[in-house]
Amino acid sequence: MASYARTTVVTLFAGTAIAVAAAGPASAATQTQNGLVNVAVGDVSVLNGSNVSIGVAAQIAATICGVKVGPVAVLGTAVDASGTPATVCTTSQGLPVTITQA
């Protein structure tokens, strides 16, 4: 089962990286550091860096956790505002899926 979860995370990360890379040059001039977060599964950073918006992070975390995106986006916004990390869920392997401020 761990192999399946790892494959899913890698696939999601690759797809998101392509989408972010394609959108990056067009929005680079107007992008600010506000609204950016990181997502980690256990001690592995899935999304980390200044190009990860709350919306993208929420989509990935919600997919990994099997929950709706809306509440995760609200949680990501709270993390960005407060700087306090939050755990979205725990995977079936016992790894926490957390959102931290970028």
Domain hosting 13: range is 2-26+34-101
**In total, how many domains does the chain have?**
1
Residue-averaged pLDDT of the chain = 75
- Whether residue 99 contacts residue 75, with contact meaning beta carbons closer than 8 Å, is answered with yes
pLDDT value, residue 30: 45
What pLDDT is stored for residue 11 in this prediction? 56
pLDDT digits (tens, 9 = 90+) for 57-73: 899 899 999 999 999 99
Token output for 11: 């696939």
Contact 43, 12 (CB under 8 A): no
Burial (0-12, 13-18, 19+ Cβ within 10 Å), 102? buried
pTM of the predicted model as reported, rounded to 2 decimal places: 0.63
- The predicted structure's pLDDT at residue 36: 80
Segment 15-34, tens digit of pLDDT: 554 544 444 454 444 444 56
